[in-house]
Amino acid sequence: MSPINHALTGWLLANTASHISMRERAYITLAAVIADIDGLGVVAELLTAHTENPLLWWSTYHHVLAHNLLFGSILALLTLWITRQKLIALLVFCAFHSHLLEDLISGRHQDQLWGISYLYPFSKQQWLWHGQWELNAWPNMLFAVFCISLTLYLAWKRAYSPLALFSKKMDRHFIDALHQRFGVPKA
């Protein structure tokens, strides 16, 4: 799925409990997108594509290095160490796995299926689902509409949105606009 869908899934998971702080919501949302950090090799691969020794870092390592149980477990343990809260660590672990699941069911690009090397580096066996949707298939669009709608509803209801992860001022303006348009929710 697109990074937007991954991020919104993380944001929605970060809103499953009301006492979670904005910083903790940021950790959970980040956990839902960070696996794609292993795609950064695309820069080296493009830059060296026409050289004698091209670096195939994207082709070799994307969906491998950070799309696995070990990486997710390290994230969860790091979160537990920083926040001292099992619930936040658990939600980080779930958000990370939501990314793997979304890639597994919906990451196809034309004829190229994406597999997940879940037990890497201990095993290179890939998990693959042959019914995998294309990245721009309608179920992905529908899922995006669902996530955006729920995010907007929660923003209206709880008076904060994902914009608060970047700027409190921007978030305030956005929430004011929502409340002006749709009214202030009853307490």
**Residues at the interface with Zn ion (CB under 5 A):** 35-36, 103
* Helix, strand, coil percent values for the chain (each to nearest 5): 60, 5, 35
CA distance linking residue 111 with residue 62, whole number of Å? 17
Q: Which is nearer to Zn ion, 35 or 75 (CB)?
A: 35
Of 33 and 178, nearer to Zn ion (C-beta) is 33
Compute the least distance from the CB of residue 21 to Zn ion, in Å: 27
- Please say which residue, 20 or 66, places its beta carbon nearer to Zn ion: 66
Q: State phi, psi for 134 to the nearest 5 degrees.
A: -75, 155
Shortest CB 96 distance to Zn ion, Å:
10
Instruction: Give dist(CA 72, CA 36) in Å, integer.
Output: 12
What is the closest distance, in whole angstroms, from the C-beta atom of residue 122 to Zn ion in the complex? 20
Shortest distance, position 4 Cβ to Zn ion, whole Å: 13
Residue 109 φ then ψ, to 5°: -120, 105
The residue among 36 and 134 lying less far from Zn ion, judged by its C-beta, is: 36
The residue sitting closest to Zn ion, measured at its beta carbon, is: 103
- In order of 55, 104, 127, the CA distances from 123 in angstroms are 23, 18, 11
